[in-house]
Structure 1
Amino acid sequence: MSRRSRIIGCGAYLPSNAVSNQELARRVDTSDEWIVQRTGIRNRHLAAEGELTSDLAVAAARRALEHAGIEASAIDCIVLATTTPDNTFPATAVKVQAALGMTTGFAFDVQAVCAGFIFALSVADNFIRSGQATRALVIGAETFSRLLDWEDRSTCVLFGDGAGAVVLEAFDGTGAAGERGVLSTHLHSDGRQYDLLYVDGGPSSTRSTGHVRMSGQEVFRHAVTRLSEVVEEALVANKLEPSAIDWLVPHQANQRIIDGIARKLRLPADKVVLTVDHHGNTSAASIPLALAEAVGDGRIKRGDLILMEGIGGGLTWGSALVRW
């Protein structure tokens, strides 16, 4: 027997302001047809004035705790994945900790952009496996709209705001692939691709926030290759065939990328959790948002094998296999 972690609850939050492609077309030179054809996105949610990343994170965390049936006082650590913190420092996670009334344990942020949730999940899983935590709250939360250049149609139409969270709990298991829990996580980065997707500002460089800049075609090319590799890595590590996967819960960046990965796995469309059409790309929040939606509507059931994967600026990418 070995100490492992399993997901016992999940939750999500989206700002109330839903913005359609048609609305964006009134602000920037684009069209619903152009956006849908290239990305699959039809709507996204944007945070209200004064609504912070921590606000979104707290709302998602509370729903995850409620779903798990535990109080915040039972949590040992919070790992918050975000590219859009409330402030340069302290970590947004400590604001979430205070808002939840959690006065013990520890909280910190992880920054891996769109792969952030997978990185945060891996960190929390390893804390539990090592015995440093018994229960962990893993959150992906973004107000990505605050980083957008609203005159750049190649980027401003892609992103949205939101938050998702899961609660991990320790248990003693065998590590068998058929057992509930986080089976494995796999992380990678390649700093040589730094300039493919980045924000042109920061405290050390420009003393400003900056805007998202992206080489779309190059990011697309790397995404298909790297995600295929890291998906295969997860399957090989667990001695599983693609046919064993019940659900693909991918980072929701672009429907064409998602479709490409599903084809490589020979997964039918009805086994892919797709939210990019109504959420847009919510960066670190996209995987837990999609997971919470599929759990909430009953698609994901106890015992299902879930493959999560994502790629983001850095480049960073990763995957996780979880038995629900």
Structure 2
Amino acid sequence: MENRLVSTPVISATGLWTPAQSISNAELVQSYNAWADNWNRENEAEIKSGLVEPKTHSSVEFIEKASGIKSRFVVDKAGVIDPDIMAPRIPERPNDQLSILAEMAVLAARDALRAAGRDPKDIGAVICAASNMQRAYPAMAIEVQQALGIEGFAFDMNVACSSATFGIQTAADFVRAGHAKSVLMVNPEICSGHLNFTDRDSHFIFGDVATAVLVEAEHIAPRAHWKILGTKLKTQFSNNIRNNFGFLNRAAPDGVGTPDKLFVQEGRKVFREVVPMVADMIGDHMNELGLTGASLRRMWLHQANANMNRLISAKVLGRDATEDDSPTVLDTYANTSSAGSIIAFHKNSSDFKPGEKGLICSFGAGYSAGTVFVEKTA
């Protein structure tokens, strides 16, 4: 039997790639309201007869009150804000070209590798952990592996919005077991592709982005890194957040008319059920690690809804959280699914001093939730 020394996993670096195009709430509302007016005109007879309800307008005030979102980055702005399309239009690439999801992941990965001073040849495994995979196979992770010139192994995994924290624990387990000294975990998300932009209650929720996390054995990590104090995962089945699109079905050509093949949710139910579940999970994990709310310098929570994060933070800290306690990127990035908590960590962790502790936490469809407690070193 091969003898492997147990290695302590740490986070060496993170990376971020952001699309160049952004859509403000005002732009999104203008396009939605124009679409709604067109739909009402086309269905005027049915509306007057009472067979269907008219589409009501959205508003900037409604979006910000419901979510805290003010804008979002997207890979294709023109298609989303065109009232005749209301969906991103992303040309398919031939099989001999790098796919767009892999391209995004590679850009985020290179950012993380630069930060860690790491050569791709040093990486032993790649995990692509995301909600929105553009195909079933070959795995995007293997495509990323090839594009970067990484040896070893690679695979995709999907745990919806919790994919990144599940990916971090999986990467850490590989390091502990000696299967790889360095694991690249990437989260490319084109969330705009599964969003129904003609649904007033959710047309504003998502944005596009890619993040990367480099998990490595402590003895090869850069001097300044993040100790992984503990990870914890939880799942509980729920139909309240769902997307039925898959290889057994296909959406309508215009992306409209088959709403259950796009993102759908029972938002109020999700709010009522997920907030206590996540707060209790964080509390239980802190108890296991001997931590308290006062032990935490900062929490980098999943960026889905500002009101959810406010309540979860308050339950964990025992008081209202400040922006410094629980920073928000939701206002400019919107919900980016698996990448949200990683963006928050990436953009709001450089001010940490050695010994200070924080929490990366994600939660979403499944239901699923993951916690990763970290401590800054030198």
Same structural fold, with TM-score higher than 0.5 when normalized by the shorter chain? yes
**Cα shift at 1:2:** 5.3
Q: Please tell me whether the aligned partners of residues 6 and 177 of structure 2 are also in contact (alpha carbons under 8 angstroms).
A: no
| Partner of residue 328, structure 2 | 274
After superposition, give the CA deviation of every residue in 1:8-46 in whole Å (9 maximum; x if it has no partner). Answer: 111101111111000100121311111111110001001
* Counterparts of residues 244-283 of structure 1 (less than 5 Å): 244-266=295-317, 267-283=321-337
More divergent stretch after superposition (143-152 vs 265-274): 265-274
Distance 1:6 1:299, change over 3 A: same
C-alpha distance in 1 between matches for 2:226 and 2:343: 21
Counterparts of 1:47 and 1:310, CA distance in 2: 23
> Relative to structure 1, is the Cα distance of residues 19 and 300 closer, same or farther in structure 2, using a 3 angstrom cutoff?
farther
Q: Does 1:314 align with 2:366?
A: yes
Residue 241 of structure 2 corresponds to residue 197 of structure 1: yes
Residue of structure 2 aligned with 1:68, choices 107, 110, 116:
116
**C-alpha separation in 2, matches of 1:320 and 1:61:** 20
In structure 2, give the amino acid aligned to 1:291: F
- Partners of 1:202 and 1:145 in 2: CA distance: 17
Q: Percent identity?
A: 29
* Contact 1:262/1:269 (<8 A) preserved: no
Residues 169-213 of structure 1 show CA distances to partners (whole Å, capped at 9, x for unaligned) of 1126xxxxxx9511111111112x1x2111132113x24592101
Q: 1:161 aligns with which of 208, 212, 222?
A: 208
User: Counterpart of 2:164 in structure 1: which amino acid?
Assistant: F
CA contact (8 A) 1:163 1:288 kept: no
Matches within 5 A, 1:93-104: 93-102=141-150, 104=151
User: CA offsets, 1:86-135, max 9 Å, x none?
Assistant: 31211111111111121x11111110110110100010011111111100
Q: Is the 8 A contact 2:12 2:226 kept in 1?
A: no
Residue 355 of structure 2 corresponds to 303
1:108 aligns with 2:158: no
Secondary structure of 1:271's match?
Answer: coil
Unaligned stretches of 5+ in structure 1? Answer: 173-178
Contact 1:52–1:143, Cα closer than 8 Å, also in 2:
no
In structure 2, C-alpha distance between the alignment counterparts of 1:218 and 1:112, rounded to whole Å: 20
Alpha-carbon distance in 2 for matches of 1:282, 1:262 = 20
Aligned AA (1:85): M
Q: Which residue of 2 aligns with 1:23?
A: 27
Cα distance in structure 2, aligned partners of 1:230 and 1:90: 35
Aligned residues: 313
Counterparts of 1:1-324 in structure 2, within 5 Å, are 3-28=7-32, 29-48=57-76, 49-50=90-91, 52-102=100-150, 104-171=151-218, 180-191=226-237, 193=238, 195-204=239-248, 206-208=249-251, 210-266=261-317, 267-295=321-349, 298-324=350-376
d(CA) in 1 for partners of 2:348 and 2:155? 27
Letter paired with 2:243:
V
Partner letter of residue 189 of structure 1?
A: T
Measured in 2, the distance between the counterparts of 1:220 and 1:115 equals 16
After TM superposition, give the deviation of residue 224 of structure 1 in Å: 0.5
Unaligned runs of 5+ in 2: 33-56, 77-89, 92-98, 220-224, 256-260
Q: Distance in 1 between matches of 2:28 and 2:265?
A: 19
Residue 252 of structure 1 deviates from its aligned partner by 0.2
* Larger-gyration structure (1/2): 2
Deviation at 1:265, TM superposition (A): 2.3
| Cα distance change of structure 1 residues 72 and 302 upon mapping to structure 2, 3 Å threshold | farther
Q: Higher relative contact order by CA 8 Å / sep ≥ 6: 1 or 2?
A: 1
Question: How far does the alpha carbon of each residue in 1:146-183 deviate from its partner, in whole angstroms, 9 at most, with x for none?
Answer: 011110122220011101111111126xxxxxx95111
Match of 1:175 in 2: none
TM-score, scaled relative to structure 2? 0.79
Partner of 1:26: helix, strand, or coil?
Answer: helix
User: How far did 1:3 drift?
Assistant: 2.2
Cα displacement (A) at 1:292 = 1.2
Would the aligned equivalents of 1:186 and 1:233 in 2 still touch at CA under 8 Å? Answer: no
Q: TM-score, normalised by structure 1?
A: 0.92
- Tell me the amino acid that sits aligned with residue 8 of structure 1: S
CA RMSD across the alignment: 1.9
CA distance in structure 1 between the partners assigned to 2:280 and 2:16 by the alignment: 29
Distance in 2 between the 1:96 and 1:61 partners? Answer: 9
